[in-house]
Amino acid sequence: MADPMSAFDALAGRIADIERRFAGLGDDLAELSGTASDETGLVSATVDATGVLTGLNLAPAALRAGTEGLAELVLDAYRRARTAAAERVEERTEGLDVELGAGLTDLFGRPGDFSALGRLEETIGRLGRLDDRLPGSPA
């Protein structure tokens, strides 16, 4: 039978490894943006990683397109900026879903594999019994 503390340490180590792999990802994504211009180059838009519009620049000539034409130019630039941001997010996160999935599968088993719960319950039980034998453990 494996030492429960070793199993617990191994679990804690794997969780720490997953945390290290994803450290800073949130900050990276918060700073990520995409900027693009419409087909004519008269309007440029900037969006954040979630696609929220954060900047819009109109060349004076864009105003000559009229309200409907200007709206089309803005939407075109916005769509292109969203695509650019999505591509940057994809580049930054490429493979992370596989890493996270593999790490979690190692820890908890595959979906529908409830034997991991049994192993977890067994480990918790062993840790409890070990804790009961330690000096100064709560009554």
Q: How many Cβ atoms sit within 10 Å of the Cβ of residue 39?
A: 11
* pLDDT, tens digit, 9 for 90 and up, residues 5-42: 666 677 677 777 767 767 777 777 788 899 999 999 99
How confident is the model at residue 137, as a pLDDT?
46
Whole-prediction pTM: 0.58
- Edge-to-edge strand order for the sheet containing 43-48? 33-37, 43-48, 53-58
Which stretches in the chain have pLDDT values below 50? 1, 137, 139
